[in-house]
Chain A
Amino acid sequence: MNRMLPLIGFVLLAGLFGFGIWWNTRHDQREVPSPLIGKPAPAFSLPLLDDPATRVNKAEMLGQPYLVNVFASWCIACGEEHPVLMQEARQLGVPVIGYNYKDDPDAAKAWLNEHGNPYSMVVTDRSGATAIDFGVYGAPETFLIDAKGIIRYKRIGPLTPEVIADVLEPKIQALKQESP
């Protein structure tokens, strides 16, 4: 029996990998239940891209719902998402904060100049330290945070017009009715 242990261990591991592959093919719409949903967003204090001396913290953002969109100039999928944001961001009725993730500020600025800037403001997290608190897995990701600073929705991967229309907008509408 003792000699079977390594084999059993490997079978479990292989099962996990099989699950991983299956999971990735099934979850094409990339809806990931985040353990943070329904919990307060982590405290953060991040510098603005345009003005690194000014920092934005969580307390300042309380009082209205907002979206946080994690992006980076090196991220290819963000390029796919970007035109969608350019089109839809202004019509969502909530501020969309660009969260520039592990990126070179220059590259980020150049990227926004080239492709347009859909964000109401852009904060930077060069080291990705705050992103760990948010459970960011990679760019792009989008968080919906309510007026009390609680994470209500998270999406991993690019936003598409369908996701915005079918999921995000109803959630935003619901939040707006909740908050005074």
Chain B
Amino acid sequence: MIFPKWTNWLPLALGLGAVLVGGGVAAGVTIYLTPKYTRAGYQPVQPVPFSHQVHAGQLGLDCRYCHNGVEKSWFANLPGASTCMNCHNQVLKDDPRLQIVRDSAETGQPIPWVQVHKVPDYVYFSHEVHVRRGMSCVKCHGRVDQMDEVKHDQSFSMSFCLDCHRDPASYIRPVDKVTSLGWQWSTNATEAAKLQQTEGQKLVDHMRVETLQSCSACHR
């Protein structure tokens, strides 16, 4: 007998091992390398404890009051400290948490906000064309008006972009509702989903929204 008896189990052991190792590698790659896990959920601490929940949610400030480049440029823009001081020279004007903001407005030294949302350098994304053509902020950034600290809500992977680029009708909304993050086609969820399809398609047809899936749409 050339092979001892335990070798009968060898193929099974090898197969099992391969499955375990392969599964481990797959899980590792998924968790460590895919945008769904590497990006979504990212929530850095900002130098100023600014609350979107208070400003955008409770006070109802429009997104565009601070992010004033969003309709003009690819970059939404972060407000200068002088914008903050428009209100905060009256409200909470001695609050120690706002010391950095006051200093910045006075000296011009920028506040080092930590970037949360970022697309890779080879992606040329434009806020302008999305928000002015009925893509709501909420689709990519989530309910920022309910976030105390901003966190990365969606994966921003290429397939995330393509979901909408393949089927804009399921995501589009009237242009004037773009910054109303909680807006729905209807208060009834099933009704809203139905309306999204029918009304969305109407919008797509009326606005001649293209289903841009070729490389040149985002990569140059």
**Chain B binds chain A:** no
A residues bordering B, Cβ < 8 Å?
none
